[in-house]
Amino acid sequence: MIDWIPIALIVFKVLVLGAGMFFAIKWHYDQGEKERDKAKETRELVRAGGKAVAVFVLALLCLMLATFFVSKMLGLNLTSP
C-alpha cells in the first residue's frame, strides 16, 4: 500500500504555493493600478487648479476694468504722475 502522507503534503504544498503566487501577482497588479489612478488624480487636480486660477484672473481683470469704468464715469483722475 502507498504511503499517502508525502502525496498529501506535496499536493498541499503545491496548493499553498500556487495560492501565494496568485495573490502576490494580484497584489502587485493592484498596486500598479493604484499608481496609475494616483497619476490620473494628480493630473485632474492640476487641471482643476489651472481652471480655478484662470477664473480668478478673469474675475480680477473684469473687476479692474469695472473699477476703471466707474472711476472715469465719476470723473476721477487716474493718470500716473
Q: Which residues have CB under 8 Å from 72's CB, separation 6+?
A: 78
pLDDT at 35: 83
Q: Are 71 and 78 in contact (CB under 8 A)?
A: yes
The CA-atom distances, in angstroms, between 37 and each of 49, 67, 76 are 18, 45, 55
Q: How confident is the model at residue 4 (pLDDT cuts 50, 70, 90)?
A: confident
User: Domain extents for the chain?
Assistant: 31-74
Q: CA 34: distance to chain centroid?
A: 9
Give residue-wise pLDDT tens across range 18-69.
999 999 999 998 888 888 878 888 888 889 999 999 999 999 999 999 988 8
What would the grid cell of residue 11 be? Answer: 499536493
- pLDDT class of 1 with cuts at 50, 70, 90: low
pLDDT for 26: 92
